[in-house]
Structure 1
Amino acid sequence: MQFERVLKYIDIGIGEGATLLTGGKPCGEKGYYIELTIFTDVKNDMKIAQDEIFGPVMSLIKFKTIEEAIEKANSTKYGLTAGIVTKDLNTANRVSRSIRSGVIWINCYFAFDRDCPYGGYKMSGFGRDLGLNALDKYLQV
């Protein structure tokens, strides 16, 4: 079902006018693999920019100022994770404090510490995993 869902989102992105830079097709003859897919010319109101796809799909959205980037990042109802790539520590601090997301990585992605709780923000996630906060799921008062 997820395989079909991701392919449907790729079709939606094309239909909404995003440019398919690469990928967008099933990969291999066995399994449910999809090529790494990258869209450019994505507008913030497109479905591929607003939904959590959970597949190998990246939507590139242009911005002119840091404030505009923060506004675009926060304009979705989801907030599972975010990534910031910068050489400027002040920018990293400012953006990471302004984006509403469960996890924000700076100059890396998908790095976890078992002692830090992990989970989404807004409509993303189901509570917290890892860290002491995750123990609440296994306790009964």
Structure 2
Amino acid sequence: MMTEKYNLTPEIDHYACTIDLYGRAKELNEAMRSMRKIPIELDVVILGTFLSACKLHKNFELARGFEDELLRIGGESVTRYVQLANVYASEAWWDDMGRIRKMRGNEVGKNAGCSWVHVGSHVHSFTSADERRFENEELCGVLDLLIMEMNVKQ
């Protein structure tokens, strides 16, 4: 429809959004059919989105069917292992979870997470392993406010 009506070629993010919408609507089979029709190679984002929907709706067998594909295209991303291990843990498939964690340990290391905070007209970035993050009082103040806000909403 995008191509015919708006002369736009869908990109991988458009397909990921479609899979996400089907997943949220519990239409996992329709999401799977849509994934099979995508004219470009599936990526970690699309498969991860589908896996999350399977976990949310407790369709673990369907998720298990995409393990090989996710591991094949996931590259060095630790995310693929974490997602699969979490799905298997949700269903108490401890042997599968252990196997995935062992594969993760053999192949990849975990990269530090990165966050950005916008303060005034500046964007500050920091990682979980970044010791400099405590040097900026303004940034620490914003983080304290965010933490208080999160605690209030819980």
TM-score, normalized by length of structure 2?
Answer: 0.33
Higher strand share: 1
Higher helix share: 2
Bigger relative contact order, structure 1 or 2 (CA pairs below 8 A, ≥6 apart): 1
Larger radius of gyration: 2
